[in-house]
């Protein structure tokens, strides 16, 4: 298939979706019901506004109506994600020559923020899938890129990132999964924990130990579903992120071709960290989408909920709280978008908690979407590096650079 320009697929298919649903992609923030002071389109180019609108429309029409059901029934919405892939969202920052959309990190952040207003959990998985596709695109050779990337970008196949182990989380360099070279195969033994998509996905990007202890002994291999010796644990029961399955990934004398190794032996840890640098921005962008949606939900609730004969929107204390939430949302968005250029990370979770508080007892009911946003983003303080690890990285940078 001939490669398309970075915006070609999104614009063409997005226009079709908007036309079919009688939506106009360049409608104003007022028509979307977004207050101008928190409009996520501020500062974006016209092209960026176009694909942001496509993502918002997809979130509103294909994701939000099903968000609660996916959560309650723990549905992995494969067909919906494949529809997103038709818009170019399966390989957003993968090169076009292997089926990707070829957009920038900032563009990616804008898209993930918009998609998350429809379902944080599903968008977070899409972001992980994108990270995996990018790793193969970036570190793989021509044969590997051509073999894996087209199916990942179309989401005919789905990917999982396998770094965390039962005994190694923040200290990722201490991982114990081994890969012993035997002929033209590596024999993998060990297990990975908390793997998003585990058991339901097709391609596993696995960090494993091919050498001595420490980061320099780690390599990265691609393991395909169906490989003998590849097994999975039970599906975990989680408080959030329920539209994506989470399982342990277990290797028992699992033979993986040497041809599936990305880069050279010993480069795996560097690849893993570079993947996470982008992954952190992606997850932060998902948090932004949740925060944006919660500000909108809180505002709408204050406008209709009455106490003491008047709407809550007339209460000055709540007005000030809403203003604080809006300020933090915009500040966080600016920081995340700046980080997208520099590959750094930020997360605005407190906004969602305040939005739930404004709903009072209603916010604790599952009939109200705000509670799901709160549940789904809680894990964002843990994955892709805990909050404490992020602080450690920042302080290390401050203390080692003169």
| 85-100 per-position pLDDT tens digit | 999 999 999 999 999 9
CA distance 321 to 87: 37
Backbone angles phi, psi at 185, to 5 degrees: -135, 155
pLDDT band at 360 (very low <50, low <70, confident <90, very high): low
Q: Is the pLDDT of residue 350 over 60?
A: no
Cα(85)–Cα(280) distance, rounded to whole angstroms?
21
Query: Given this model, what pLDDT does residue 316 score?
Result: 84
| Residues across the chain | 402
Q: Give the residue, 3 or 218, on which the prediction is more confident.
A: 218
**Averaged pLDDT for residues 220-231:** 97
Q: How many angstroms separate the CA atoms of 148 and 157, rounded?
A: 9
Catalytic residue among 53, 62, 113, 384: 384
> Over the chain, what is the mean pLDDT?
84
DSSP 62: I
CA-based angle 188:189:191, to the nearest 5? Answer: 115
Is residue 70 very low, low, confident or very high in pLDDT (cuts 50, 70, 90)?
Answer: very high
Q: What is the pLDDT of residue 71?
A: 94
State both tokens at 391: 């602080």
Report residue 325's pLDDT band, with 50, 70 and 90 as the boundaries: confident
Count other Cβ atoms within 10 Å, centred on residue 215: 15
Q: Which of these, 260, 250, 177, lies nearest to 218 by C-alpha position?
A: 177
Predicted confidence at residue 19, as pLDDT, reads 39
Whether residue 180 contacts residue 298, with contact meaning beta carbons closer than 8 Å, is answered with no
Question: Is pLDDT at 330 greater than 80 in this prediction?
Answer: yes
Q: How many helices (H) and strands (E) does the chain have?
A: 12, 10
Specify the fold of 160-268.
Answer: Butyryl-CoA Dehydrogenase, subunit A; domain 2 (2.40.110)
User: What's the confidence (pLDDT) of residue 79?
Assistant: 98
362 pLDDT higher than 60: no
Q: First and final CA of the chain: distance in angstroms? A: 50
| pLDDT at residue 344, rounded to an integer | 36
Per-residue pLDDT band at 298 (split at 50, 70, 90): confident
Average pLDDT over residues 97-105: 95
Region of residue 385 (phi > 0: left; psi between -120 and 50: alpha; otherwise: beta): left
Mean pLDDT of the 299-315 span: 89
pLDDT at 26 over 60: no
345 has catalytic annotation: no
Confidence of residue 352 (pLDDT cuts 50, 70, 90): low
Exposed e or buried b per residue across 58-86, where buried means at least 16 C-beta atoms within 10 angstroms of its C-beta: bbbebbeebbbebbeebbbbeebbebbbb
Residues 265-289 pLDDT 10s: 999 999 998 898 888 889 989 999 9
- The residues spanned by each domain of the chain are 39-157, 160-268
CATH topology of domain 39-157: Butyryl-Coa Dehydrogenase, subunit A; domain 1 (1.10.540)
What are the structure tokens assigned to 185, written together? 């195969």
* pTM score of the predicted model: 0.82
**What pLDDT, on a 0 to 100 scale, did the predictor assign at position 98?**
97
Does an H or E element contain 160, and which?
strand 159-162
Whether the Cβ atoms of residue 318 and residue 358 lie closer than 8 Å to each other: yes
């Amino acid at each position: 298939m001939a490669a398309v320009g970075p915006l070609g697929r999104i614009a063409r298919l997005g226009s079709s979706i908007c036309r079919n649903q009688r939506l106009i992609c360049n409608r104003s923030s007022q028509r979307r019901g977004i207050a101008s002071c928190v409009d996520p389109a501020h500062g974006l180019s016209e092209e960026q506004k176009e694909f942001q609108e496509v993502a918002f429309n997809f979130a509103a029409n294909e994701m939000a109506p099903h968000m609660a059901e996916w959560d309650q029934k723990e549905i992995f919405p494969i067909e919906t994600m494949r529809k997103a892939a038709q818009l170019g969202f399966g390989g957003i920052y993968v090169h076009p020559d292997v089926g990707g959309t070829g957009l920038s990190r900032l563009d990616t952040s804008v898209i993930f923020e918009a998609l998350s207003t429809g379902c944080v959990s599903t968008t977070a998985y899409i972001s992980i899938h994108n990270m995996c596709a990018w790793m193969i695109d970036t570190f793989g050779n021509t044969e590997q890129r051509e073999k894996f990337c087209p199916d990942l970008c179309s989401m005919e196949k789905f990917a999982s990132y396998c770094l965390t182990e039962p005994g190694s989380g923040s200290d990722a360099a201490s991982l114990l999964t081994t890969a012993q070279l035997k002929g033209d195969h590596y024999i993998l033994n060990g297990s990975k924990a908390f793997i998003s998509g585990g058991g339901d996905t097709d391609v596993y990007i696995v960090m494993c130990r091919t050498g001595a202890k420490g980061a320099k002994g780690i390599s990265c291999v691609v393991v395909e579903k169906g490989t003998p010796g590849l097994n999975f644990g039970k599906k975990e029961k989680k408080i959030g992120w329920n539209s994506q399955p989470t399982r342990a990934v277990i290797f028992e004398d699992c033979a993986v071709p040497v041809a599936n190794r990305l880069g050279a032996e010993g480069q795996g840890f560097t690849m893993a960290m570079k993947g996470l640098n982008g992954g952190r921005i992606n997850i932060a962008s998902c948090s932004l989408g949740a925060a944006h949606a919660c500000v909108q939900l809180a505002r709408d609730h204050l406008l209709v909920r009455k106490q003491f004969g008047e709407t809550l929107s007339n209460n000055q204390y709540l007005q000030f709280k809403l203003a604080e939430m809006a300020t933090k949302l915009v500040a966080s968005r600016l920081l995340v978008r700046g980080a997208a250029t520099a590959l750094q990370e930020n997360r605005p979770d407190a906004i969602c908690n305040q939005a739930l508080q404004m709903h009072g007892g209603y916010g604790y009911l599952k009939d109200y979407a705000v509670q799901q946003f709160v549940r789904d983003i809680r894990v964002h303080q843990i994955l892709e590096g805990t909050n404490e690890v992020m602080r450690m990285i920042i302080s290390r940078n401050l203390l080692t650079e003169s």
